[in-house]
Amino acid sequence: MPKKNNLNPKSVKNKTANQRKEPKIKAVPEPKKEKKSNESAKFKYALLRGMHDVLPREQKYWQPMLAQAQRLAEDFQFKKIDTPIMEEVSLFIRSIGKGTDIIDKEMYIFEDKEKYSSKICLRPEMTASVVRAYIQHGLWNQPQPVKLWYSGPMFRHDRPQAGRFRQFNQIGFETLGDGDPATDAELILIAYNFFHELGLPVEIHINSIGNLEEREKYIVALVEYYRAKRSYLCDDCRKRINKNPLRLLDCKQSQCRPIKEESPQIIDWLSTESRSHFMKVLEYLDELEIPYTLRHSLVRGLDYYSRTVFEIYPTADLGDQAPDSGVQLSKQDALGGGGRYDLLAEQMGGRPTMAGGFSLGLERAAFYYKACCEKEITKLPKREIHAFLAQLGDQAKRRSLKIINQLRASGLVIDFNLTKNSLKGQLDIANSLHVPYALILGQKEVQDSTIIIRDMESGVQEIVDQKKLSTVMLKKVQINVDQTKKK
């Protein structure tokens, strides 16, 4: 097209303005820049405080974690459970207990339009919901134990800070209807394997907080000890003495640390049964060679725990972290935690049911995963791509999706890029993906119903019938068709 005919109204206007010798300031701004600044000026929406997006670039850490949870659930025979994000507030007040930060400060509570008799909330955790479902749907009638796992978002109106969000994701495993120490060990093994098998170094911190009676006696001794040291404590701890004495052991303030270290240890208040239960759990962990630390100050603030409590901590040295995911992780930040809750089902109106479980925070786990990949402590699992399909010309492009779909259905993983039209551009991508084969489909191949298979290493090419492509490719990548179908 001749350039002089390609005038648009704006350039005509400009020309007129120039001819009139108007000051430069009136010149029409560069359209590109104007569009950009207008867009950002117009855009008014941003994430709510404490919320976050998991962008595609972060998903490569999330997907293997979710796959790992799924695999562990299958191996240890846990069945998936999904419960609603909203529940009655009283469910959590009853189970987690007043005096805890979750209940006193962090619940998202609101009234439903239908004016429910009780207020509703966004779930801050899922154990109480799982136990509610277990009672409500008569799962206690099934052969025990009932082993359930879940994955989903939780909500806590926490003060946003490194490693703390207001909406965050957890996966969790719960075993209901079994009081054996082997159950505690199995749960700890799953939590440990989750990280260990992804190449993430972790250790378990573990303690026993006994049963209700033992704990009550211990709390009396703890309060007495702390009252005598009251003047040396931080403001929060002074309040905790009356409000939630066990939380005194969670304090991380330096002024309280020496007092905490000298405090009475709950292990000395345990009955013979509780002590023996705990010793058996530790024997299992020794047998399984799971690294653990006994931490007498570990009490897990929630009311529903009894006997074994544990948390999982990162042990890799991450040095200075410069994350762009908004999560920073120190060795003091737990990746997850759990324990026994033998009284919870009964407290909620169900039958007495021995139970235990744990949950892992996926934001912190994803951050740890990413940091460990960057430090080459671990690697992301490789997605094996069997071939790259390159197309040339309109007809080939049209046919290629059908061929890709057929190959995919036979179990092959095929990459492609339909926006690139040059063969070179597409083969460059194939090279960068290190695929063993490229499948090349041009005009001629479409007409002959054939396709070229190119061995990317040797450069040797062969032409095969499109109908035989799946069979030939499966043979080449040595996939057992039956096995693929079974999966």
Binding residue numbers for L-histidine? 125-127, 156, 170, 174, 300, 304-305
C-alpha neighbours within 13 Å on the C-beta side of residue 151: 15
Footprint of ligand AMP on residues 358-397 (CB under 6 A)?
Answer: 359, 361, 363-364
For residue 208, state whether it binds ligand AMP (rule: CB under 6 A): no
Q: CB 336 → ligand AMP: shortest distance, Å?
A: 5
Q: Strand 450-455 and strand 461-465: pairing? A: antiparallel
Contact (CB, 8 A) for 181 and 284:
yes
List, in sequence order, every residue forming a beta bridge with 203; answer none if it has no partner: 313
| One-character DSSP codes across 291-304 | -EEE-TT---S-TT
Contact (CB, 8 A) for 412 and 435:
no
The window from 207-215, 279-287, 330-338, 418-426 that contacts ligand AMP (CB under 6 A) reads 330-338
The helix/strand/coil state of 257 is helix
For residue 334, state whether it binds ligand AMP (rule: CB under 6 A): yes
Among 336, 350, 356, 411, contact with ligand AMP (rule: CB under 6 A): 336
C-alpha neighbours within 13 Å on the C-beta side of residue 403: 34
Which residue, judged by CB position, is nearest to ligand AMP in the bound state? 361
For residue 340, state whether it binds ligand AMP (rule: CB under 6 A): no
31: preceding bond cis by omega (within 30 degrees): no
Among 145, 245, 314, 337, contact with ligand AMP (rule: CB under 6 A): 337
Which lies closer to ligand AMP via its Cβ, residue 191 or residue 439?
Answer: 191
Q: Strand 146-155 and strand 79-80: pairing? A: parallel
| One-character DSSP codes across 121-166 | EE-S-SHHHHHHHHHHTTGGGSSSPEEEEEEEEEE-----BTTB-S
Binding pattern to ligand AMP, positions 164-203, x when CB under 6 A?
A: xx--x-x---------------------------------
For residue 244, state whether it binds ligand AMP (rule: CB under 6 A): no
Contact (CB, 8 A) for 241 and 234:
no
Q: CB 186 → ligand AMP: shortest distance, Å?
A: 19
Supply φ then ψ for residue 338, to 5 degrees. 180, -165
For residue 245, state whether it binds ligand AMP (rule: CB under 6 A): no
For residue 158, state whether it binds ligand AMP (rule: CB under 6 A): yes
The helix/strand/coil state of 213 is helix
Taking the CA atoms of 210, 215, 217 and 223 in sequence, report the sign of the dihedral they define: positive
Q: CB 122 → ligand AMP: shortest distance, Å?
A: 13
The window from 55-63, 130-138, 252-260, 332-340 that contacts ligand AMP (CB under 6 A) reads 332-340
- Alpha-carbon distance of 290 to 282, in angstroms, equals 10
Which lies closer to ligand AMP via its Cβ, residue 189 or residue 435?
Answer: 189
Q: CB 470 → ligand AMP: shortest distance, Å?
A: 44
C-alpha neighbours within 13 Å on the C-beta side of residue 245: 19
The window from 194-202, 328-336, 425-433, 478-486 that contacts ligand AMP (CB under 6 A) reads 328-336
Q: CB 127 → ligand AMP: shortest distance, Å?
A: 8
The helix/strand/coil state of 208 is strand
Residues annotated within the binding site are: 125-127, 156, 170, 174, 300, 304-305
Binding pattern to ligand AMP, positions 106-125, x when CB under 6 A?
A: -------------------x
List residues near ligand AMP by CB under 6 A: 125, 156, 158, 164-165, 168, 170, 334-337, 359, 361, 363-364
